[in-house]
Amino acid sequence: MRAALLSLLAFAVPAHADELLGAILKRLAEPRVVRAQFVQERTLADLERPSVSRGRITVSREQGVLWQVEAPVKLTLAFTPQGIIQTGSDGVRRRQSQRRGAVETETARLMQGILGASAESLTANFQASAAGSLERWTIRLAPRARETARYLREVRLAGGSRLETIEIEETSGNLTVIRLRSSSSDQELSAAELESFKLP
């Protein structure tokens, strides 16, 4: 009897985890546009103090991710399917090639993927596991692709009704923690945001 009960539990736990993952992603994918303030702390393996940057992030299901750094320097990066558009403090817009392994690039891809993701599409690229409840959850993502796994060890997401924290652990020992605050949702980008996504 005990063996049979343990067998049932062994099958029930993964099923519950899959259901939780699907429910979390469904909730996160509801808005077409998400805006939030962010604080990013990047700790390098060979440095004692982390570097800290602050700004705003806008995630559009259709257009991409707008990463607006306000401190310590002003910089805007628009991640689009066609590439990266960088706008410096001088207002000049330049196209930039995809930087393999760059934390901002990986974060942008991840956030846009989550916004319009399903459990199937996410688990196609990552080994995903969810824990907690729909009110307070965590997701752990390990890359499936060997090329990505060379530099990315794991991504950890946490939140409740919205995504609140992203932790990106690299194989080099570098760790990036992004905390999202004052999140809001919308159905359309502003005119200024749309302009930032246009290719120069």
| Cα–Cα distance measured from residue 111 to residue 183, given in angstroms and rounded to the nearest whole number | 13
Q: Do residues 79 and 106 lie in contact, with contact meaning Cβ atoms separated by under 8 Å?
A: no
Query: Would residue 7 count as lying in a domain?
Result: no
The share of the chain scoring above pLDDT 70, in percent, equals 81
Query: Would residue 116 count as lying in a domain?
Result: yes
Query: Would residue 38 count as lying in a domain?
Result: yes
Cα Rg, the chain, nearest whole Å: 18
| Residue 99 banded pLDDT, cuts 50, 70, 90 | low
Which CATH number do you get for residue 88? Answer: 2.50.20.10
Which residue segment(s) compose the domain that 115 sits in?
A: 19-197
The structure tokens 């924290």 sit at 165
- Quote the number of domains for the chain: 1
Q: Do residues 165 and 159 lie in contact, with contact meaning Cβ atoms separated by under 8 Å?
A: yes
Query: Would residue 10 count as lying in a domain?
Result: no
In the DSSP assignment, the letter for residue 73 is S
The structure tokens 């519950």 sit at 16
Query: Would residue 3 count as lying in a domain?
Result: no
Could you report the per-residue pLDDT of 101-130, keeping only the tens digit for each? 466 666 777 776 776 555 666 777 889 999
